[in-house]
Amino acid sequence: MVPGGEHLIKNTNWGAQYRLWPIGDIHWGARGCAEQLVDATLRRIEQDPKALWIGCGDYFDLISPRDKRWDPENIDPRHRAAFFKRMGGEMITYGAQKLAPIRKKCLGLLEGNHEFSYSQQVDRAMCRDLADELKVPFLGYSCFKDLVFQKGKRTLRVRIMAHHGAGSAQTVGGKINKLKSFMQSVDADIVLMGHVHIAGDLQMVELKANDNCSDLGANIKLGVISGTYLKTYEANKDGASSYGERRGYEPVPLGSPCVIIEPGPGRVLVEKPVGHLSRR
């Protein structure tokens, strides 16, 4: 785990809303990656002067021929040649170009299981190399990071713990329980987790007593699952399928949630990805 230090926000507007985006499980390189939605999220971050983001891993699909999930039909045709020649370098260049407009708003990049497994197979430090390319902190597989809001002598410190995530839960309850286990084991105000491909959130309350045990209070933690941009099912008339489809995974809403921090009242909210009604 990386102790990621602090990110100082000077001249805080105490009446404003600051947005923290956990961006992960994009899966660039897969045919099922919803790239237009990724681009729309990145544009929103770029255009918001009070937006920050942290990378939650699995930016790339990175299923190599040595992986049991390997299926050449599931590779985005634009990247197919690179997968057989220079997959790692091609994807780092592609990801860095996409993320370059928002790199100065980045708290750092976590490594995902796709980057980690690929690095084991081909000896290429994918996430560290992407962080170096963007000139942003590499935060390992999990980290602590403090957001410090400051103006004059007034400060507010928000402690974040972020982890790419783990496990293979398929039910919503199982995924939320994994988030809950992280929240129970760390001292943080906001806990971020990826990997399980839903945008979810959970609040937990810890009771406490004051210094002389004469009164009660409470600490409230917020946990957020960072969502995904990888379609489980996609219309492919040539018969190509994703490993999620072959395993019978449920389809999930796509996009990233956003943690809204109001430093004045010390309040946090969660904005979920927007849904759309189907037209029959």
**pLDDT tens digit string along 175-217?**
999 999 999 999 999 999 999 999 999 999 999 999 899 999 9
Q: What is each CA distance from 168 to 114, 246, 249, in whole angstroms?
A: 14, 15, 11
- pLDDT higher than threshold 80 for residue 68: no
Confidence band for 85, pLDDT divided at 50, 70 and 90 = low
The answer to which of 102-111, 242-251, 262-271 has the lowest mean pLDDT is 242-251
pLDDT tens by residue, 20-61: 999 999 999 888 999 999 999 999 999 999 999 999 999 998
On average, the pLDDT of the chain sits at 91
When pLDDT is cut at 50, 70 and 90, the band that residue 98 belongs to is: very high
Residue 94 has pLDDT above 90, yes or no: yes
Q: Which residues contact 34 (CB under 8 A, 6 or more apart)?
A: 229, 230, 231, 254
The predicted pLDDT at position 25 comes to 97
Least confident of 11-25, 49-63, 125-139, 224-238: 224-238
Per-residue pLDDT band at 83 (split at 50, 70, 90):
low
Band of pLDDT at residue 72, cut at 50, 70 and 90: low
What value does the mean pLDDT take over residues 69-84?
65
Query: CA 121 to CA 114: how far, in whole Å?
Result: 11
Name the more confident of 162 and 73.
162
Give mean pLDDT, residues 148-165. 97
The residue type found at 235 is A
70 pLDDT exceeds 70?
Answer: no
Nearest to 52 by CA among 9, 100, 97, 12: 9
Cα-based angle 202, 182, 186 (whole degrees, multiple of 5): 105
Residue 270's nearest CA partner among 256, 249, 251, 280 is 256
Distance CA 119, CA 126 (A): 6
Beta strands across the sheet bearing 106-109 = 106-109, 51-55, 18-23, 258-262, 267-271
The predicted pLDDT at position 111 comes to 97
| pLDDT at 65 exceeding the cut of 70 | no
CATH-assigned architecture of domain 2-271: 4-Layer Sandwich (3.60)
Percent of the chain exceeding pLDDT 90 equals: 69
Dist. CA 3–CA 25, nearest whole Å: 23
55 backbone dihedrals φ, ψ, rounded to 5°: -80, 130
Q: Is 263 strand, coil or helix?
A: coil
Look at residue 133 and tell me whether its pLDDT is greater than 80.
Answer: yes
